[in-house]
């Protein structure tokens, strides 16, 4: 089965943003793009937290709806990092912020050329053209302080 035929680009993500952004603004993320996004965001979160992890991905997944990060022990902000700091660090345009130990979601703009180097230029063009204002996003989820320093953090980085 070829890479192009196994990828499911039209099953959209972004349900956390349904009140403000259309689901077409959140295309499924191809595996190579997902890995690149993870490599790009991981060090940005390490600037804010002592521990950052990503749950192991299911190897059979053909695409991803979002990227989940587990974080613990803020470096500079006491018991929690303000959502505005995380939003700025990851370059998010929108955030669905949840207080306490609950998952917050960040909508990170996808540059128009971000998918090209991974063989998905046509998909990117189609998604940008079909989205409102021709803007599409990655969805990154971040459960606030999900683990204590004594618990193991799983990282696939």
Q: Which string of DSSP letters, residue by residue, matches 41-81?
A: HHHHHHTTEEEEE-PPPPTT-S-BS-EE-EEEEESSSTT--
Judge whether residue 48 has pLDDT over 60: yes
The dihedral formed by the CA atoms of 27, 128, 41 and 3, expressed in degrees to the nearest 10:
50
Residue 101: pLDDT band with limits 50, 70, 90: low
Question: Which pLDDT belongs to residue 31?
Answer: 92
- Output the six-digit token pair for 108: 């990170």
Judge whether residue 98 has pLDDT over 80: no
Contact 132, 22 (CB under 8 A): yes
- Output the six-digit token pair for 22: 């259309």
Judge whether residue 18 has pLDDT over 80: no
> How is 116-146 classified by DSSP, letter by letter?
GGGT-HHHHHHHHHHSGGG--EEEEEEETT-
What's phi and psi for 19, nearest 5 deg? Answer: -75, -25
Cα(first)–Cα(last) distance of the chain, in Å? 27
Q: Which domains does the chain have, with CATH numbers?
A: 3-143 (3.30.460)
Model-level pTM? 0.79
């Amino acid at each position: 089965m070829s890479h192009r035929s196994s990828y499911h680009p039209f099953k959209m993500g972004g349900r956390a943003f349904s009140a403000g952004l259309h689901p077409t603004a959140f295309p499924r993320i191809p595996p190579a793009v997902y890995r690149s996004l993870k490599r790009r965001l991981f060090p940005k979160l390490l600037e804010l937290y002592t521990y950052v992890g990503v749950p192991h991905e299911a190897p059979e997944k053909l695409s991803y709806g979002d990227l989940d990060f587990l974080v613990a022990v803020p470096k500079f902000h006491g018991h929690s990092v303000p959502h505005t700091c995380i939003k700025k660090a990851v370059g998010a345009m929108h955030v669905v912020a949840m207080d306490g130990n609950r998952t917050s979601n960040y909508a990170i703009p996808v540059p128009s050329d971000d998918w090209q180097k991974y063989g998905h230029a046509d998909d990117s063009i189609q998604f940008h053209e079909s989205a409102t204002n021709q803007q599409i996003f990655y969805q990154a989820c971040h459960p606030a302080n999900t683990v204590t320093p004594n618990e193991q953090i799983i990282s696939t980085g």
